[in-house]
Structure 1
Amino acid sequence: MADTVKGTVSPHLTRLLVRAGLAAGLDRSRLAGVPGLAVLDENGIRIPTATCLRVWEVISSPAWEAGGSKRVMELWRPGSLGVWDYLFSVSGSLGDALRVSSRHFTAIADPADRLLVTRDDGGGTTAGWQGPYRDHPEYPMIAEFVPYMLLTLTSLAAGRQLTPVRVRLPHRPPADVRRLVELYGTSDIEFEADHPSITFAEADMDAPLPRADPALAAILDDHARLSTAAARPVLGWLDRFHAVLESAVASGPPGLDQVAGRLAMSPRTLQRRLREEGTTWREELERLRQRRVDRLLRETSLSVESIAARVGFTDSRALRRAIHRWYGHGPAAIRASGPA
């Protein structure tokens, strides 16, 4: 299932983010260039993870000025995150709810994201999120949001507002932490952690939930698994371009005319579409070459001269110059580091 949905997310969270941005006064035209939003309201699909990340970028300023994570979750209603929402309320306890929601985290997230639930020595339970987005400009906001989302869902399932034992965040402490203390309901907030997490008290985790329904929990457990496996990935235009570009490599260094023909458009139209996506043919070809060079250096024993010919460089000197531009060192260092 992970292979089928790799690089995609459920559209549910992205819908919620778009609503939060618009409610905070975001000009709808700012969303016009975000790929994948045209199919956002369809059911049974998954959209590119890049689409969700791009929405985070677009809404970050207006939504966070209007209240941030709290503002987003104020718009949440049961079912806003699909079946994943309901896994919380029908479980036997909050400990069970967190464990089953972590097992089905792909129902709302990319398979590369992980929700790790661990029992602490003191009896409490910690839910921590790990995702490959540390270098993304909006990572601090996403890292702030995930613990609050979990706090909102667990509080609703418990039928009362929970007070977490501790919250950990990966970024540096802000000048004024009062907003975060109010957001999470605790002053025990640690910063510069490895990843964001929220810890709940043992008594809260073990207490029976008021709407526990073992039979329904089993049904939803199956539904979460099957619906994720059956979801149809809907690629944006740039994703289709990347797929065609990669396939064109099989017959040698790809040309603009060749790729444009496979996409049923003129070279001029292709260049215009790439500009609309914030990139260019030259930049995309450079990234493709870099990926291929990196793989061939790490995973084969081909000479630098052979790799240069395969990837479309005029000679080995041109390839060496490109590698220095990309990495700041020569091909030997990449080869010595082994497979990625």
Structure 2
Amino acid sequence: MPDAPAPATSPSTSRSTSATIAPNILRYLVRVADAYGVDLQPLLTRVGLDPTVMGSAALRVSYRQGSDVIRRAVELTGDEHLGLRVGAAQHLTAWGLLGFAMMAADTQQDAIETGVRYQNLSGAMTVWSARWEDVGYVLRADLPDPALDPTVAVFLIEEAYSSVVTLIRLSVGTGFAPQAVEFAFSAPRDTRPFDELFRCPLRFDAARSRMVIPTRWARAAMPGRDPITYASVLDVLEKEMASRRDQQDLLEVLEISIAQSLPAVPPFPEQARRHASSERTLRRRLAECGTTYEAIVDGVRRERVEHLLARRELTLRDITRQAGFADVSALRRAVRRWHGVTPLELRTGLLERREAPTDRPRA
């Protein structure tokens, strides 16, 4: 059988700052955290996601925003299996038209391959691929960045496979169970939640994470299959993907331009000239991406500051100069706004995280 289509776009370093991800995971994370009595709204507001923004169907978030919220949510709930809970709370309708297309697909394999092809529209924070291998039909979820914070990395892999199992059971029957699931992180202290959810042989410390789907389930007919509806929805998804690629290209070009120019920041009129555009048109295009030039500059500076703080030999004055801040006070205010801590406190946390031995999932 043919392999599933490759992911629509490959992960890139700019995905950490560009707001390109539908916030489905965060919306379900809020629900699950609320059941623990944890209100995530103050945290969401701090990273720029107030209630009005979160209620917008057009909202897109960045990997950095998503990672910040996930990391803190795990700490606040104290649930080391929070990713499993969030994945199990989902439904295909959360994926909008993509979920509708998957429900209208002919077989479960077709539904999965549709999800893989249009994954950039689904709010996925992992990189999906699917293909037939010697062991069966294999679905892989890889991390967008192998250096991702371990807590966030484990959450994302748990959420990815938990949501897949949950959605397949909603689609073709509660009797579904994978043939096997492998995780590229060490076994938790309590594996019972994994056993109860997946109901199949599990393996931890694997080279890569993967789920093997039995042939009969991969070929199972979708109850809502409708070839005419399926084809019509795919036409809409193709147009949305084309628009998304244009937006992603614009954001990447701007981020690269800013990063290469630091400590100076190219003025907005200059960026408009580089794109053979008027300032008004460029601002409109950025608004369609759900962002502003100022927000992109802020994201690039933030990433640069975190990178520089991880270098012990650099003083705050060095970092201030290299990141393009007017003075050390401006740097301190920015770090406080981003992280709620001082630059030195952030440096300590970054160094501890980098130097601590971890069983980090592998991409």
Distance change >3 Å, CA 269–CA 41, structure 1 → 2: farther
Counterpart residue number, 2:115: 101
Distance change >3 Å, CA 67–CA 170, structure 1 → 2: closer
Q: TM-score, normalised by structure 2?
A: 0.63
The unaligned stretches of length 5 or more in structure 1 are 247-252, 285-325, 327-340
What are the superposed Cα offsets for residues 290-328 of structure 1, whole Å, 9 maximum, x if unpaired? xxxxxxxxxxxxxxxxxxxxxxxxxxxxxxxxxxxx9xx
Q: Is the 8 A contact 1:159 1:210 kept in 2?
A: no
Shift of 1:35: 1.4
**Bigger Rg, structure 1 or 2:** 1
Shift of 1:282: 9.7
Counterpart residue number, 1:128: 140
| Match for residue 201 of structure 1 among 201, 204, 214 | 214
Distance change >3 Å, CA 203–CA 32, structure 1 → 2: closer
Counterpart residue number, 1:234: 290
SS at match of 2:131: strand
SS at match of 1:194: coil
Aligned sequence identity (%): 19
Counterpart mapping for 1:162-181 below 5 A: 162-181=176-195
Structure 1 residue 213 corresponds to structure 2 residue 274: no
Distance change >3 Å, CA 172–CA 74, structure 1 → 2: closer
Q: Is the 8 A contact 2:177 2:198 kept in 1?
A: yes
Counterpart mapping for 1:317-336 below 5 A: none
| Match for residue 335 of structure 2 among 271, 274, 277 | 274
What are the superposed Cα offsets for residues 204-233 of structure 1, whole Å, 9 maximum, x if unpaired? 111222111111212222333333444543
SS at match of 1:47: coil
Distance change >3 Å, CA 174–CA 145, structure 1 → 2: same
Counterpart mapping for 1:81-120 below 5 A: 81-109=95-123, 113-120=126-133
Structure 1 residue 23 corresponds to structure 2 residue 84: no
In structure 2, give the amino acid aligned to 1:20. V
Shift of 1:119: 0.6
| Match for residue 160 of structure 1 among 149, 170, 174 | 174
In structure 2, give the amino acid aligned to 1:218. A
Q: Is the 8 A contact 1:89 1:156 kept in 2?
A: no
Structure 1 residue 140 corresponds to structure 2 residue 174: no
| Mean CA deviation greater in 16-25 or 165-174 | 16-25
What are the superposed Cα offsets for residues 135-171 of structure 1, whole Å, 9 maximum, x if unpaired? 3132112212211111111222213331110001011
Shift of 1:126: 1.0
In structure 1, give the amino acid aligned to 2:47. P
Q: TM-score, normalised by structure 1?
A: 0.67
SS at match of 1:125: strand
Higher relative contact order (CA closer than 8 Å, sequence separation 6+): 2
What are the superposed Cα offsets for residues 57-97 of structure 1, whole Å, 9 maximum, x if unpaired? 12114556396345324542442232332233211111111
